[in-house]
Amino acid sequence: MRFVEPSREVLAETLLAAGPHSPTLCDGWQTKELAAHLYLREHRPSVALGGLIKPLALVSEKATRTLAAKSASVNGYAKLIKDIQKGHPAYSLARFPSIDTSTNLIEYFVHTEDVRRARSRWAPRALDEEYSNALWDELIKRAAILYRGVDLGIVLVRPDGPRHVAKRAPVSVAIVGEPGELLMHAHGRTRHALVTFEGQPDAVALLDSAEVGL
Residues 6+ away with beta carbon under 8 Å from 9 = 85
Secondary element (H or E) of residue 153? strand 153-157
- Residue 21, pLDDT > 60, answer yes
Instruction: Give the pLDDT confidence score for residue 59 in this predicted structure.
Output: 80
The Cα-based distances of 202 to 39, 119, 127 in angstroms read 42, 31, 33
**Residues composing the chain:** 214
Question: Sheet harboring 153-157: ordered strands across?
Answer: 163-167, 153-157, 172-176, 196-198
- Residue 126, pLDDT > 70, answer yes
Question: Each residue of 74-94: pLDDT tens digit?
Answer: 999 999 999 999 988 877 777
For residues 184 and 191, what is the distance between their CA atoms, to the nearest angstrom?
Answer: 9
Instruction: Give the pLDDT confidence score for residue 54 in this predicted structure.
Output: 65
For residues 136 and 131, what is the distance between their CA atoms, to the nearest angstrom?
Answer: 9
Instruction: Name all contacts of 78-87 with Cβ < 8 Å and 24+ positions apart.
Output: 78/16, 80/32, 80/35, 80/36, 80/39, 81/12, 81/15, 81/16, 81/35, 83/39, 84/8, 84/11, 84/12, 84/15, 84/35, 84/38, 84/39, 84/42, 85/8, 85/9, 85/12, 87/5, 87/8, 87/42
Q: How confident is the model at residue 51 (pLDDT cuts 50, 70, 90)?
A: low
Question: What is this structure's pTM?
Answer: 0.92
> Can you tell me whether residue 195 is helix, strand or coil?
coil
Cα 111 to chain center, whole Å? 5
- Residue 61, pLDDT > 90, answer no
- Contact present, 206 and 151 (Cβ < 8 Å): yes
User: Positive or negative, the Cα torsion across 142, 65, 11, 94?
Assistant: negative
